[in-house]
Amino acid sequence: MKFSIMISEGPYTHQASDSAYLFTKAALEKGHEIFRVFFYHDGVNNGTRLTTPPQDDRNIVNRWSELAQAHKLDLVVCVAAAQRRGIVDPEEAKRNSKDADNIAPGFHISGLGQLIEAGIQADRLVVFGD
Amino acid sequence: MSDEMMEDEGTIKKFGYVNRKAPYGTVYALESLEVVLIGAAFDQDVSVIFMDDGVYQLKKGQDTKASGMKNFSPTYRALEGYDVEKLYVEKESMDIRGLSTDDLIVPVEVKSSEEIMQIMEDQDIILSF
């Protein structure tokens, strides 16, 4: 089956990203396809490489980056939600005259249309949030 | 272009947006509205459902000046212009909050919780905010 995933909450504060990660990993292991993972609302905070969790805890951001690299996952951070919360890739930094970017490897910033398309293209869109 | 892509371009799915939270306490209502507006460009079959505290999103007479937040209340009236015409409000949620359709800024269809359940059942995609 072809799945799309939406994550609506930030890392550590809320379990949404953990559950989404475990679901995505399990689906891939079972041979399913993940069309796209879309990060919205505070979920965009899963995409900053500046996260430094304690060493004895899971690294939620790195975990997504590694999964993306291993499976060529399309991790999309919503641009409007990202701008509000300071998640920036090199292009956005240039466009909005920011002095830095912070996007984690494997993530990229794009529009809400990517969420709608993810819904249209996948057999199931699974939402992880409140 | 492959046959598969041609087929996908013509796909029309039922998108149900479910709004359950009050408009200004959290960002969900505003960001839900942004999805609905962008999604309207994709010519899908859209239904927008308001239930629980989400019914407050449509309440008339909102004034956000004192909170310093942007008042996005007028945007709900623009939905019709985007061909987003199926707005459903759950009756029980209105009743429990003492609201009637006279209190709302846009025309809506009032549905019982059982009918809302059926509307949700009919959707291909549910985005819950």
Residue B67, both tokens: 């909170």
Q: Specify the 3-state DSSP secondary structure of A43.
A: helix
Query: Which residue is it, tokens 């008042």?
Result: B71
Tens of pLDDT, residues A62-120 = 999 999 999 999 999 999 999 999 999 999 999 999 999 999 999 999 999 999 999 99
For residues B63 and B71, is the Cβ–Cβ distance under 8 A? yes
Report the residue of chain A nearest B29, measured CA to CA. Answer: A41
Distance CA B46, CA B39 (A): 8
Q: Print the domain residue range for A118.
A: 2-128
Task: Give the model's pLDDT for residue B1.
Answer: 42
**Residue A34 pLDDT more than 70?**
yes
DSSP, residue by residue, B49-113: EE-GGGGGGGBS----GGGT----TTHHHHGGGGT--EEEEEHHHHHHTT--GGGBSS--EEE-H
**Do B126 and A127 meet the contact criterion of CB atoms below 8 Å apart?**
yes
Query: Chain B partners of A127 at a C-beta cutoff of 8 Å?
Result: 126-128
Instruction: Give contacts of B10 with chain A, Cβ < 8 Å.
Output: none
- Give the whole-angstrom CA distance, residue A68 versus residue B36: 28
The whole-number average pLDDT for the span A122-126 is: 97
CATH match for B12-59+68-128 among 3.40.50.150, 3.40.1260.10, 3.40.50.170, 2.60.120.10 = 3.40.1260.10
pLDDT (0 to 100) of residue B10: 77
Q: pLDDT tens digits for B43-64? A: 999 999 999 999 999 999 999 9
Q: How confident is the model at residue B8 (pLDDT cuts 50, 70, 90)?
A: low
Number of domains forming the structure of chain A? 1
| Cβ <8 Å between A119 and B126 | no
Mean confidence (pLDDT) of chain B: 93
Residue A101 DSSP SS3? coil
- Per-residue pLDDT at B9: 62
Given the residues A7, A78, A81, A88, the one annotated as active site:
A78
